Amino acid sequence: MTGGQAEISPRSGENATRDSGIVEQFVARASALTDEQREAVAARRGALDEAGHVAALRSGAEALFNWPQVYADARRTLAAAHLPDALERDDLTADERRHWSEVARLVQLSIDEMLVALAGNEVLHPNHLRDLSAPWGHRSDLAEPAAHAAAIVASTSSP
């Protein structure tokens, strides 16, 4: 134990293969989001209580070094996945541009938090996994973190 936290070692073997597949599925689904799906994810992320979200974010940040390269690679692949197609239109009003920019901001947070949840799924408390994945619309009572992470990703095809 260090600083009251259990030491976390990088994944290897069967768990790494399983979890890598879960991350790949999420990357594929996040890459294919429609603007309507982005709005749904953004609405759920915007509805979260930020004060209550802090514990999950803190735990996720501590767990992130468990799998930093996978997180970094996935985030690099998803660099523009949060951007709504609507932002490419030239005819947007100022209000529409603000709306779609806010959607993009909230979806970017949601993608980052989901990747943190997936990277830390072996060590995060199930409540923190649920909190970090809430914008994706899946609420699971699965206690086993890897099963929970797989269930979350399976549900992201229709956020």
Average pLDDT over residues 97-111: 97
Q: Which residues contact 148 (CB under 8 A, 6 or more apart)?
A: 121, 126, 129, 130, 140, 142
What are the tens digits of pLDDT across the range 62-90?
A: 888 777 888 889 999 999 999 999 999 99
Q: Is a pLDDT exceeding 70 seen at residue 44? A: yes
Taking CA atoms, 80 is separated from 61, 77, 84, in Å, by 22, 8, 9
Q: Is a pLDDT exceeding 60 seen at residue 153? A: no
Name the range with the highest mean pLDDT among 52-61, 97-106, 137-146. Answer: 97-106
Report how far Cα 37 is from the mean position of its chain's Cα atoms: 14
Predicted local confidence at residue 117, as pLDDT? 87
**Which DSSP symbol is given to 78?**
T
Give the angle subtended at the CA of 63 by the CAs of 57 and 65, to the nearest 5°: 120
Q: What is the pTM of this model?
A: 0.79
- Higher-confidence position of 133 and 103: 103
What is the secondary structure of 105-139 as a DSSP string?
Answer: HHHHHHHHHHHHHHHTTTTS-HHHHHHHHGGGT--
